[in-house]
Structure 1
Amino acid sequence: MTSKIEFGTVSNPEDAQSLGEMLCQCFNFPIADWPEYRDRIGLENFRVVRQTGEIVGGLAIYRMGQWFGQQSVPMAGIAAVGVPPEHRGKKVAIELLSNTIRELYHKGVPISTLYPATQRLYRQMGYEQAGSRCCWELPTESIKSIDRTLSVQKIKTIQSETLAKIYHQQAQQINGNLDRNPAIWRGIVEHKENVVHAYLIGAETQPEGYIIFSQKSEGNNLYLEIWDWVALTPAAIERLWTFIADHRSQVKNVRWYSGAIDPRLLLLPEQTAKIRFHEMWFLRIINVEKALNLRGYPPEVEAELHLAVKDTWIPDNNSNFVLTVSGGQGEVTKGGRGDLQLEIRALAPLYTGLFTPLQLQMAGQLEATDKAILIATQMFADSHPWMPDFF
């Protein structure tokens, strides 16, 4: 590029409007929707790059957390990364992302997560596949559940603060689930084009779950679109399946978002649920020491792992580290032998548990001694990471 690119925030109405027009073009959504999206995230959480005063790229940052090892790790969710077509192919996105990553590091953010439009760009920036999000579909007539032991109560006014307490009890057990912020909750409970229904499962004083959904048309058929659902007990799962099955006279199918393996399907009589689409979210370790320190680990593991990490964009991550795990907690110091060597992006699927150390080694993503592979396997052993949310 012929002139210098400047990275910064948006602070005046004219720039905010320019950013909105650019992002609306990039993602093909009406400019009338921009004010709501801008205010939901907060203008202070957008970042842009300018060339000769013109905004040539921008993105949004969701400040929230993500659960790993039953601990909520502070996370920056990156969304709406846009560059207008006349400025593409000029490394604008690299300037935008590299400056954002460095800012996050200096602000002490441990990890960052996003849904990539293209893998190549984000891998170049140190992001890698880290977990799944699947859209499942199931014919309502195939559910067959008849269990109405628990009560079901319609929620007349949906308040995310109340539901969040129930959600947290489930989410903290699942690697990759979000520790949601208000913007994510608003996206779940507010849908301008759809009527949203919500029901509480179990006693109001001690609920065991909930469901939030809309009824939508597809051709001549209706289907349920579940925006969010939680079941804290087997009885709640049974009651939710019965509740969904009770729509079968009018509703042909139900759809929801989950991981590639959903244990709720164990309660169904047949394998009638199918995955409509499967996508991967990406994660980047922004601060190696903080990310490894704040994650939870299996409480029975007492071990020490020597890592050697290479990071092109954040010099402080480009080092050797010793991770000591005891009592479910990790402690990181710099130094050590570097028994397990890997690029920063390969650390992401190890950190989340998407791939085992042996799988990463077989794919050429790390080099390690046999003992280091065994120790890393014990430390990062957990369930498949997934999240139902998209941002």
Structure 2
Amino acid sequence: MTFSLNYSSLRHPEDEQQIKKLISQCFAEFLTESETYFNRIGSQNFRILHHNDQVIAGLAIYFMGQWYGENLIPMAGIAAVGVAPEHRGKGVAFQLLSHTLEELYHSGYPISVLYPATQVLYRKVGYEQGGSYCLWELPTDTIQISEKNLPITSISPINYEQFEAIYQQQARKNNGNLDRNFAIWQKTLEVQGKQESYAYLIGEKNQPEGYVIFTQEKGTNGLNLILKDWVLLTSDSVKHFWSFMAAHRSLASQVQWRSSPMDSTLLLLPEQTAKIKYQKRWMLRVVNVPLALSKRGYPQGIETELHLEITDDLIVANNGKFCLRVSQGCGEVTPGGKCNFRLNIRGLASLYTGLFTPIQLQLLGDLDATPDAIEAATIIFSGSTPWMPDFF
């Protein structure tokens, strides 16, 4: 760079216009689509690098939460990272992300998550693979389930507040699921063009056991049911849901939904006819090591310690020794310790979410630990496969 860049939030209307144009150019969107995206997130949640009155790069932050071990962890979701074409390849994106992570650290956010366009850049600032985003597809004529023991009620108009409490009951039990903010709910429930959404509550209205929200799109062999959001809290609701999907088979040939790579509801199907059509991994960055470890939930009924030594090239305060004491599902972190579990900040990300086990991280060369420490860490970070149904 031949001149210095300054990091800030948006300062005036001209910044807003420039960041909208930058989003439009970087992500091949019409300017009207960029304005819709901008308004959904809110001007206060954008950050930029600028030189005088020229915006060089920018990104958006979703301030929300993510569930781990049934504890809700404050999380900053990073999106729309863009650099003006004439300034690419000069380390501008690295500088933008470094400033953002420094801000998040001082603001008290333990973790940050993003979907990478390229892993190389984000690994340079400490992000690593954290969990999965999967799109499943299933032929409706192979479901072959007909168990309708619950009432099902059409809901119109569709308002996220009708489903939020039901969603949270399921999300808290799945590592990586979001505590959605308003912008994420808007994105989840939005429809394109002339599509119409259909929403149904499963179970009694005063004690719902799940819901499903979907659209219908024309496919090559009939309609496709596209699930925009769905929650199932009981075995009866799972059976009724699949029966409801099967009832569409005369007109709809396929049903698509987003779920875990280990979707347990598929165990009810007679055959393995569901396929993962698309899979991507999101990345997580531990922004504040002691805060992230102390806020996470852990398995009940264990009393143990893990003595970590962390290296972090970006956030100096994360370097050093930490002792994690786990008791009755809670973690307590103090400085110091025996230093028998050494890993860098990226390796900690994949361990923290539970995407990879300590043995797998050791095999990759990301972990240096004693057998006893590996055994303790395997128990501490055990849990459900990390995933989320939301893309941002």
Alignment correspondent of 2:78: 78
The letter for the 2-side match of 1:81 is V
**Residue in structure 2 matched with residue 160 of structure 1 by the alignment:** 160
- Do residues 268 (structure 1) and 269 (structure 2) align? yes
- Whether 1:382 aligns to 2:383 is yes
Query: How far apart are the structure 1 equivalents of 2:335 and 2:155?
Result: 51
Cα separation, 2, equivalents of 1:217 and 1:28? 25
SS of 2:163's equivalent in the other structure is: helix
Letter of the 1:171 partner, please give it. A
Q: How far apart are residue 159 of structure 1 and its match?
A: 2.0
Offset of residue 16 of structure 1: 0.4
- Say whether residues 1:224 and 2:228 are aligned partners: no
Equivalent residues, number? 391
Query: Could you tell me how far apart the structure 2 residues matched to 1:220 and 1:87 are?
Result: 46
Q: Secondary structure at the match of 1:355?
A: coil
Note the residue ranges of structure 2 that are not aligned, 5 or more in a row.
none
CA distance in 1, matches of 2:56, 2:244: 49
Alignment check: 8 A CA contact 1:74 1:110 kept = yes
* Structure 1 residue ranges without an equivalent (≥5): none
Q: Distance in 1 between matches of 2:222 and 2:250?
A: 11
Q: Which deviations, in whole Å up to 9, do the C-alpha atoms of 1:96-137 show, x marking residues without a partner?
A: 000000000000000000000001100111000010011100
Residue matched to 2:256? 255
Q: TM-score, normalised by structure 2?
A: 0.98
Give TM-score scaled by structure 1 length.
0.98
* Partner deviation per Cα, 1:13-71 (whole Å, 9 max, x = no partner): 21101100011110111101222211211110000101343111110000100000000
For the 8 Å contact 2:94–2:125, the answer to whether it is kept is yes
Equivalent residue letter for 2:21: E
DSSP 3-state at the match of 1:336? coil
Checking the alignment, whether the CA contact within 8 Å between 2:76 and 2:113 is kept in structure 1 is: yes
Contact 1:65 1:76 in 2 (8 A): yes
Q: Structure 1 vs Structure 2: percent identity of aligned residues?
A: 52
Letter in 1 for 2:49: V
SS class of match (1:138): strand
- SS of 1:146's partner is coil
> Residue type matched to 2:12 in 1?
N
Is contact 1:3–1:52 with CA below 8 Å preserved after alignment?
A: no
Amino acid at match of 1:270: E
State the partner residue of 1:360: 361
Matches within 5 A, 1:164-313: 164-193=164-193, 194-219=195-220, 221-313=222-314
Contact 2:126 2:345 (8 Å CA) reproduced: yes
Counterpart mapping for 1:79-94 below 5 A? 79-94=79-94
Deviation of 1:185 (Å)? 0.7
| Residue in structure 2 matched with residue 40 of structure 1 by the alignment | 40
Q: 2:49, 2:22 → 1: CA distance?
A: 12
Amino acid at match of 2:73: V
Q: Which residue of 1 aligns with 2:16?
A: 16
Query: Which one-letter code corresponds to 1:95 in the other structure?
Result: Q
TM-superposed CA distance for 1:11, in Å, is 2.9
> Counterpart of 2:126 in 1: which secondary structure?
coil
Q: After the TM superposition, which parts of structure 1 deviate over 3 Å for at least 4 consecutive aligned residues?
A: none
Offset at residue 273 of structure 1 (A): 0.3
